[in-house]
Amino acid sequence: MIDSPDENSLSFTVSTDASGKRLDAVLAAACELSRSRIQILLQEGHVHTYSGKPVSQASAKVWEGERYVITLPPAKPLVLEPEDIPLDILFEDDHLIILNKPAGMVVHPSHGHDHGTLVHALLHHCKSLPGINGVERPGIVHRLDKDTSGSLVIAKTETAHQRMSDIFATHDLNRQYIAWCRGVPSWRVKRIELPIGRHPRQRQKMAVTDSGKESITDASVEHIFGPFSQMRLTLYTGRTHQIRVHLAHENLPVLGDPVYARSYHPGREIFEPARQAIATLIRQALHAELLEFDHPISGESLSIRAPLPPELASLRDALTKSYG
């Protein structure tokens, strides 16, 4: 059982069912904190037995009746200024925000991206957003590449963050993307099940490699526009650049992809206005359209569809006018 001696501490007694299991797994399940968060708390000396003895080994076995206390440290202040950046919010309640991220917006601050990120915008939007994982930052559950648009989930509480992380980890949700690709496959529906890892020579890229992690994408052809395809992709895993890598491996590079598609300049063999729309595309033609899952707190079934941004709607319309 778990109780809270004060607002900064959690006390836990090991049950019969938990006896013999790993300390980090048992504490994470009991406290509804992520396992990685528990491991950090162990390393930093914030977990001890009820008698006051520090505990730091995450893999230590626990036994029925043992009691542990977790002291939650105060959130670390950010050296980030909130920025009044408009957000296209598709859903919001006390626990979650789901928004339509535009292409060109970086999710987290990093080297070369110290302002204008989604985190800066969320700090302005959520005036009382609590710390997630011990840091005063919005609880972004998953990411989209800078130049991929579409639906993105943010947790507003640590409990919501942990439960949403579990939903993504067990793939208990429906994630669908739309992509416009160069090429037309011989198949109409295919499960692409190829491992993805770091490119052996170009470390900034990912690649299909035998030493990579399991990666599964369901792909189906929604429409054929002459030499181009509109694809619908369903993700069952969430590897870095997964859709872009899988499609490039199938000889279906995403239009506008600067990393996995070789430089492409449509010639006169491509009908107008498609030629002009492709030539002026400044982002990869990939959009996270649909997110469906059960709300982590209420259990309500959510189905969130992110509208296409203007540049991708224009691309679709131009391909339709050119090829029907």
Give the span between the Cα atoms of 274 and 183, in whole angstroms. Answer: 14
State pLDDT tens for residues 160-209. Answer: 888 998 999 899 999 999 999 999 999 999 999 999 998 888 867 899 99
Which domain range does residue 150 map to? 89-169
Q: Please report whether residue 76 resides in a domain.
A: no
Task: Give yes or no for a contact between 210 and 196, defined as CB atoms under 8 angstroms apart.
Answer: no
pLDDT > 70? residue 32: no
Q: What is the pLDDT of residue 283?
A: 96
Which two structure tokens, joined as six digits, stand for 203? 């470390």
pTM over 0.85: no
State pLDDT tens for residues 226-268. Answer: 999 999 999 999 999 999 999 999 999 999 999 999 888 899 9
Q: What is the pLDDT of residue 185?
A: 98
DSSP per-residue letters across 244-273: HHHHHHTT-PBTT-TTTS------TTSPTT
Q: What is the pLDDT of residue 112?
A: 63
Query: With b meaning 16 or more CB within 10 Å and e meaning fewer, what string describes 118-143?
Result: bbbbbbebbeebebbebeebbbbbbe
Average pLDDT over residues 281-289: 97
Shared domain for 218 and 298, answered yes or no, is yes
Q: What is the dihedral of CA 229, 235, 236, 241, to 10 degrees?
A: 100
Q: Please report whether residue 141 resides in a domain.
A: yes
What are the distances in angstroms from CA 69 to CA 37, 39, 92, 135, 276?
A: 15, 14, 34, 21, 64
Shared domain for 308 and 219, answered yes or no, is yes
Q: What is the CATH number of the domain that holds 205?
A: 3.30.2350.10
Helix 35-43 and helix 23-31: axis angle, to 10°?
A: 120
pLDDT > 70? residue 137: no
Residues across the chain: 324
Q: How confident is the model at residue 1 (pLDDT cuts 50, 70, 90)?
A: very low
Q: How confident is the model at residue 75 (pLDDT cuts 50, 70, 90)?
A: low
Q: What is the pLDDT of residue 115?
A: 78
Residues above pLDDT 90, as percent of the chain: 59
Shared domain for 116 and 140, answered yes or no, is yes
pLDDT > 70? residue 321: yes
Q: What are phi and psi of 201, to 5 degrees?
A: -115, -40
Instruction: Considering the candidates 3, 94, 145, 147, report the single residue annotated as catalytic.
Output: 145
Is 94 one of the annotated active-site residues of the chain? no
Q: What is the pLDDT of residue 76?
A: 58
pLDDT > 60? residue 3: no
Q: Which has more confidence, 75 or 84?
A: 84
State pLDDT tens for residues 80-118. Answer: 778 889 999 999 999 999 999 999 998 877 656 667 788
Domain count, the chain: 3
- Which of 105, 242, 101 is CA-nearest to residue 171? 242
Shared domain for 158 and 299, answered yes or no, is no
Q: What is the pLDDT of residue 132?
A: 53
Shared domain for 127 and 222, answered yes or no, is no
Mean pLDDT score of the chain, rounded to an integer?
Answer: 88
Task: Give yes or no for a contact between 160 and 139, defined as CB atoms under 8 angstroms apart.
Answer: yes
Q: What is the CATH number of the domain that holds 54?
A: 3.10.290.10
Shared domain for 231 and 141, answered yes or no, is no
- Which of 103, 142, 98, 146 is CA-nearest to residue 122? 98
Shared domain for 179 and 192, answered yes or no, is yes
Shared domain for 181 and 298, answered yes or no, is yes
Cβ contacts of 142 within 8 Å, gap of 6 or more:
152, 153, 168, 238
Q: Please report whether residue 79 resides in a domain.
A: no
Q: Please report whether residue 314 resides in a domain.
A: yes
Shared domain for 190 and 226, answered yes or no, is yes
What's the DSSP call for residue 92? E
Q: Please report whether residue 18 resides in a domain.
A: yes
What are the distances in angstroms from CA 295 to CA 170, 171, 292?
A: 15, 14, 9
Give the span between the Cα atoms of 227 and 274, in whole angstroms. Answer: 11
Out of 136, 169, 202, pick the residue that ends a domain.
169
Residues forming a β-bridge with 244: none
pLDDT > 80? residue 2: no
Helix (H) or strand (E) holding 233: strand 228-235
Q: What is the pLDDT of residue 127?
A: 67
How many CB atoms are closer than 10 A to CB 153? 24
Shared domain for 191 and 299, answered yes or no, is yes
Give the span between the Cα atoms of 15 and 264, in whole angstroms. Answer: 61
Q: How confident is the model at residue 281 (pLDDT cuts 50, 70, 90)?
A: very high
